[in-house]
């Protein structure tokens, strides 16, 4: 199988706390991989490790055959990312913010308009970023990730702060990206209902451990095998997480 992102026993420890525990994920080229887990499951930390923002305590990973830290600049040139909250220069307009990123990436000028149009921010491009609403900041962050249409997108809860129509719009945009320009998307969320509508494959993370990896059909199949109803995947996700939490409590008691 052609995996564009593959991690091997990736682990991140902060003193006594293990944020990511031996996680091995496999993201197929040209697919949308939904990274699911409750808050604090380790989704953002895993994504930060993939971007070189934080160093793994153990394990390794490859992105398009390249490794950190040796290929840091080459890897970052291929990835459009959006982690946690949108990051922007408050003193610059939306367009000027994208221009800074464009210059760093050495892209053509028209990529700014392309990115603004993709996220529906064209008419607000000349407004100062500090005057944007939360949803507009979110869109600006997404535009920054999409600038130059990078082959890999790492998006950490990109619909946070958006209204229902904004969520719908961004979801449709993310869903259309692999067909639009042949990219691979790794997207995180704590809502299976959201991921279900766009992802080809999913990975379920809880307390830093990968509980499930596979397609949505695989998840339905394993739900049926475990005697759960496969009609409502949200319930399946919650019961997987609850089972893991109960097992953790049991282990802690012993």
Residues in binding contact with other proteins, number by CB under 8 A: 32
Minimum Å gap between C-beta 22 and other proteins is 20
Count of other CB atoms within 10 angstroms of residue 77 = 14
Q: Phi and psi for 144 in degrees, rounded to 5? A: -65, -35
Residues 133-192 that bind other proteins (CB under 8 A): 144
CA 169 to centroid of chain Cα atoms? 17
Asked if 61 touches other proteins (CB under 8 A), the answer is: no
What b-and-e string marks burial along 12-26, b requiring 16 or more CB atoms within 10 Å of the CB? beeeeebbbbebebb
Minimum Å gap between C-beta 14 and other proteins is 9
Asked if 48 touches other proteins (CB under 8 A), the answer is: yes
* Among 13, 57, 85, 222, contact with other proteins (rule: CB under 8 A): 85
Residues 87-106 that bind other proteins (CB under 8 A): 87-92, 96, 99-101, 103-105
Smaller CB separation from other proteins, 48 or 219:
48
Q: Where are the alpha helices (DSSP H) in 94-253?
A: 94-105, 110-118, 134-146, 164-181, 192-196, 216-225, 233-253
Smaller CB separation from other proteins, 104 or 247:
104
Smaller CB separation from other proteins, 132 or 237:
132
Smaller CB separation from other proteins, 107 or 162:
107
> With contact defined as beta carbons under 8 Å apart, do 25 and 213 qualify?
yes
* Among 51, 167, 191, 197, contact with other proteins (rule: CB under 8 A): 51
Going from the C-alpha of 227 to that of each of 67, 210, 221, the distances in angstroms are 41, 21, 10
- Piece in contact with other proteins (CB under 8 A), picked from 75-83, 158-166, 187-195, 230-238: 75-83
Asked if 64 touches other proteins (CB under 8 A), the answer is: no
d(CA 140, CA 128): 11
Q: How many CA atoms lie within 13 A of 171 on its CB side?
A: 20
Query: Which among 213, 181, 187 has a CA at the least distance from the CA of 199?
Result: 187
Smaller CB separation from other proteins, 105 or 228:
105
Minimum Å gap between C-beta 254 and other proteins is 33
Q: Phi and psi for 16 in degrees, rounded to 5? A: -90, -5
Smaller CB separation from other proteins, 7 or 204:
7
Query: Which among 152, 134, 140, 133 has a CA at the least distance from the CA of 79?
Result: 152
- Piece in contact with other proteins (CB under 8 A), picked from 31-39, 47-55, 59-67, 184-192: 47-55
Which residues form the interface with other proteins (CB under 8 A)?
Answer: 48, 51-54, 72-74, 76-77, 79, 81, 83-92, 96, 99-101, 103-105, 129-130, 144
């Amino acid at each position: 199988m052609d995996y564009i992102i593959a991690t091997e026993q990736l682990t991140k420890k902060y003193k006594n706390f293990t944020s990511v525990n031996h996680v091995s994920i496999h993201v197929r080229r040209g697919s949308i991989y939904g990274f699911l887990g409750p808050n604090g499951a380790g989704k953002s930390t895993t994504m930060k490790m993939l971007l070189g923002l934080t160093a793994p305590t153990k394990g390794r990973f490859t992105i398009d055959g390249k490794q950190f830290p040796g290929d840091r600049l080459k890897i970052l040139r291929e990835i459009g990312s959006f982690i946690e909250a949108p990051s922007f220069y408050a003193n610059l307009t939306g367009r000027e913010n994208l221009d800074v990123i464009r210059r760093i990436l050495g892209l053509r000028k028209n990529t700014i308009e392309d990115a603004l149009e993709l996220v529906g921010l064209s008419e607000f491009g000349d407004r100062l970023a500090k005057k944007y609403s939360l949803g507009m900041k979110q869109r600006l962050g997404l535009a920054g990730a999409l600038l130059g249409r990078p082959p890999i997108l790492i998006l950490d809860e990109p619909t946070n702060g958006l209204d229902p129509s904004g969520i719908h719009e961004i979801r449709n945009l993310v869903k259309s990206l692999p067909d639009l320009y042949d990219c691979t998307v790794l997207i995180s969320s704590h809502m299976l209902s959201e991921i279900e509508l766009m992802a080809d494959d999913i990975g379920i993370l809880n307390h830093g451990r990968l509980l499930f990896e596979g397609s949505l059909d695989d998840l339905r199949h394993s739900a049926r095998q475990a005697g759960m109803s496969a009609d409502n995947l949200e319930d399946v996700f919650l019961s997987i997480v609850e089972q893991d939490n109960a097992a953790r409590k049991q282990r802690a008691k012993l």
